[in-house]
Structure 1
């Protein structure tokens, strides 16, 4: 098994994670190789960034910190002590430091580690082959749909009085519901 199933350039990790299906395949693979904490952290930060208000953000940020950042975190991610201390300091007290930038640096570091370590292994896995097959099937389906739509539009335009009338008017230079433009010959009359 290998990366050849896609028949093109390798997908970046961000491209893979941008789709729900890609994220699921990458997450399943990470669990299988016993390092799910990085992808879990990355995806939870993505969810955090979508939260509507600061109150929700503070609560969710503390949950992320307990789960991934604190020294005794169950799924601790491997980030620098400086970064860890900075995040925890911003969350002390009422969590007022919980803004959209709170986990930005840590998330970028985790993404970089996954690109270096997990992604090359993922690209050699059955999970990646299945994801590429899924993408290829979606592309084929979209192309079929596009071709069917063109055929249907052609068929519709060759049938039915409304379309023939629209076509005839268009031949006269009439936009839908409009009046034909005056040609120089009409203007002289």
Structure 2
């Protein structure tokens, strides 16, 4: 894969939400944007799930799953994500014995929400437009 300059990378974010999320700088820009929209829990949850999937050992996974659950999933969580009650119940029922796919459905729901809702607004935002102008 060719190494892209920051300017090319920022332009690429406009191609798809995947390109945006593949980039550390893109993740940071989207997080800044979502903070202003009071919905940063979505990207924070999505990133936590990506890290969670990399955890090799069961004890670490149980600890990380519990942290993700209490921070984002349980009702009244400090950064509660907007998912349906059925998905929330399934995660709750399996939280004591989590596997690598424990948060997949919720992560997909949040990804789709960001792709449909936040991403188009991000592309029009002052944050993204300023990044494009710099490049």
TM over 0.5: yes
Q: Give the number of the structure with larger relative contact order, counting CA–CA contacts within 8 Å between residues 6 or more apart.
A: 2
CA contact (8 A) 1:25 1:127 kept: yes
How far apart in 1 are the matches of 2:44 and 2:54?
16
Aligned to 2:81, the other structure's residue is in SS state coil
**After superposition, where does 1:36-55 map in structure 2 within 5 Å?**
36-55=40-59
User: Whole-Å Cα distance in 1 between the matches of residues 127 and 99 of structure 2?
Assistant: 35
TM-aligned CA distance change 1:130 to 1:49, over 3 Å: farther
Q: How many residues align?
A: 126
* Aligned position for 1:90: 94
Determine if the alignment matches structure 1 residue 79 to structure 2 residue 83.
yes
Q: Please name the residue that 1:125 is paired with.
A: 125
Match of 2:104 in 1: 104
1:170-189 mapped onto 2 (5 Å cutoff): none
Contact preservation (8 Å) 2:73, 2:88 = yes
CA deviation vs aligned residue, 1:58-85 (integer Å, no higher than 9, x gap): 1000100001110121111111111000
Which runs of no fewer than 5 residues in structure 1 stay unpaired? Answer: 138-189
TM-score by length of 1: 0.62
The CA distance in 2 between the partners of 1:122 and 1:130, in whole Å, is 11
Question: Superposed, which structure 2 residues align to 1:56-71 within 5 Å?
Answer: 56-71=60-75
Distance 1:42 1:9 in 2: 17
Report the counterpart of residue 16 of structure 2 in structure 1: 12
* Structure 1 residue ranges (4+ consecutive) displaced by more than 6 angstroms after TM superposition: none
Residue number in structure 2 paired with 1:156? none
Task: Kindly provide the CA deviation profile for residues 141-176 of structure 1, in whole angstroms up to 9, marking residues without a partner as x.
Answer: xxxxxxxxxxxxxxxxxxxxxxxxxxxxxxxxxxxx
